Amino acid sequence: MATNPDEAYRNGRVVLDVTMSSDKVTRIDEMNGHQGDNGRIVKFVMVGQHGRPFNMENKTLDLVGVDSAGKTKISGNTMTMINPSLGTLDFTIPGAFYQRVGDYDRAYFRIKDNNDQVISTINVMFSVIQGVGYMTQGDSQIYDGNVENNMARIEQKVANFTKELYSMLDGTNNAAKIARDVASSVLSAINNNQVATKSGNNVFTGQNTFEQPISGNGLKPAYDYINNAINAAKASLADDESGKQYDFKAWGVNGCRAHDDVKCTLIKFNKYVGYCKLEGTFDFPPMKPYEGMEVINVDKAAMNGGIYAFPRLTAQNENNVLMFDYNTGDSGQIWMHHQSNSYDATKPDSEYIQIGWFCSWR
């Protein structure tokens, strides 16, 4: 890559040019940080054709890079929008990017639209400097902020569902308690001779008027009410989807070939939440490093509610790291790109993968 060592500024902000060609990279000193830094904020302004402001409305920005230890880092959308129409934003770099001292010679920003599709990439360089008194927390680790963000949304979804379920059960339990109290009151009244019984000696001390003949079991409505309340409580606790598994088809597209060992299985936690896993061997077509391509399709039903699906990094063949993501949450379309160049990009790449995503049903 040809290197432009001097980043440009505009009104005190670093310029990110979305039209910059893919064979150029800009070193951005403002992104440099000491080992152990966390939450470094860099002020950017996005520009497009002829240096005009690039409108960032309904768009996201994330940072992807490979550190000096060869570990892939993905920030997730950590930007704070200042003015979308002017392309001004503040970008927060997660601490995982500053775990290993050395240069990021392969890093780039990705701009995505509201369908989570990459519309532009901007190559950058920056460095991690040895920090004084930095206490190491172990080796540099693969990091994907998208996974953490989506997992947080999934956990919130499950928490909300659990809250609703408890609320529903609480209402059902209250109804059952009321029914039991009514039955207890009726039985207590009978035992205290406050209610007339068929086989008992009944004394009517008040003024009583019977418009129609009295017949049948007078307690039957009370028993029916109790049984209905108990059955409702049982029904609310039961979930016939829990633990069920469903098998779906998965196949390769655009030159990708699926082997016979490929399996796509949906496991239902209950009728609201499930997890789908895809595993098996695929022959991926020749692809350039960091080049995204749709390679796998699964039955759409396997991604139901897949808005909560999250990307997964799978490391195979030493340092060859594969990144998988989804076109839309319920499309059944799975994309992949290599997060390294430690493979022969001119030949098909046979990989055994294990990826998965959460599904939800409202």
Mean pLDDT computed over 192-199: 62
pLDDT over 60 (residue 133): no
Look up residue 142 and give its two tokens.
Answer: 């693969």
Predicted pLDDT of residue 307:
47
Q: What is the mean pLDDT of the chain?
A: 77
User: What's the number of CA atoms in the CB half-sphere (13 Å) around residue 296?
Assistant: 30
Mean pLDDT computed over 4-20: 81
Mean pLDDT computed over 256-263: 94
Predicted pLDDT of residue 247:
93
Number of Cβ within 10 Å of residue 37's Cβ equals 18
Q: What is the pLDDT of residues 61-84, one digit of tens each?
A: 999 998 888 888 888 889 999 999
Is 10 or 170 the better-scoring residue by pLDDT?
Answer: 10
Predicted pLDDT of residue 189:
64
Instruction: Report which DSSP code applies to 54.
Output: P
pLDDT over 90 (residue 342): no
Interacting residues of 102 by C-beta distance below 8 A, sequence separation 6+: 67, 68, 69, 127, 128
Q: What is the pTM of this model?
A: 0.45
Q: What is the pLDDT of residues 137-191, one digit of tens each?
A: 556 666 666 555 555 555 565 556 556 555 555 555 565 565 566 556 666 666 6
Please state, in angstroms and as integers, the Cα–Cα distance from residue 284 to each residue in 32, 107, 228, 256, 278, following that order: 36, 24, 58, 5, 15
Highest mean pLDDT: which of 231-240, 284-293, 310-319?
A: 284-293
pLDDT class of 347 with cuts at 50, 70, 90? confident
pLDDT over 70 (residue 304): yes
pLDDT over 70 (residue 33): yes
Q: What is the pLDDT of residues 201-220, one digit of tens each?
A: 666 666 766 666 655 565 56
How far, in Å, CA of 98 to CA of 143, rounded? 11
